[in-house]
Amino acid sequence: MIETERLILRNWRAEDRGPFAAMSADAEVMQHIGGPLDRADSDAAADRLATSADSDGYCFWAAERKGDGAFLGFCGLRRGGHQGTAVTDELEIGWRLRRDAWGMGYAREAALASLAWGWANCAAARIAAWTVLANQPSWRLMERIGMVHRPELDFDHPRFPIGHPLSRHLVYTIERPQ
């Protein structure tokens, strides 16, 4: 679907479920998201992503390394944030990579390609991303791809009680290029 120098971002396949489940069971990968997922929850998440691709034409696509076809994680776009927050109707960019793919520039490469695809194929005036304060690698990547922190959009995640370390989310946006 989307090719970069080293990656292919594509729709989900049945064979992605195993490596996605392994990534989703990794406590370090999942530490800022709510913790590891069991296989059933991981499969349900993969189903939601595939359904989003079918209904919207985009999703958090599977990220495959060109050189060997390895599943590295996901990156892409999805519509709508969390109900009752300032990001309810935002077009979101998001990513998650398996731990051995961190620090190699894959997330930046995939995110830039996803942004370019979004500007070419979606009518959104801006694209947003969010994460917790403790997830410095993620919000630093948001900054590196040109996103700006928007404190007025920061929100408390409805899945966590106020004061929980994963409750408060920082929101970054990038405006459509002129």
> What are 40-84's pLDDT values in tens digits?
999 999 999 999 998 999 999 999 999 999 999 999 999 877 788
**Would 144 be classed as within a structural domain?**
no
Q: Could you tell me if residue 120 is inside a domain?
A: yes
Residue 158 lies in a domain: no
User: Taking the model in full, what pTM does it have?
Assistant: 0.95
Is 36 part of a structural domain of the chain? yes
Q: How many domains does the chain have?
A: 1
Instruction: Please tell me the distance from the alpha carbon of residue 116 to that of residue 124, in angstroms, as a whole number.
Output: 12
Confirm whether 170 is domain-assigned.
Answer: no
- Decide: helix, strand or coil at residue 115: helix
Average pLDDT for consecutive 10-residue bins of the chain (178 residues)?
97 97 98 96 95 93 98 94 84 97 98 98 96 96 98 93 94 96
Alpha helices in the chain (DSSP H): 17-24, 39-56, 106-121, 136-144
Residue 146 included in any domain: no
Contacts of 178 (CB under 8 A, 6+ apart): none
pLDDT for 105:
98
Tell whether 136 is covered by a domain.
Answer: no
Dihedral sign for Cα atoms in the order 133, 137, 139, 143: positive
Residue ranges making up the domain that contains 93: 2-124
Residue at 147 is within a domain: no
CATH number at residue 30: 3.40.630.30
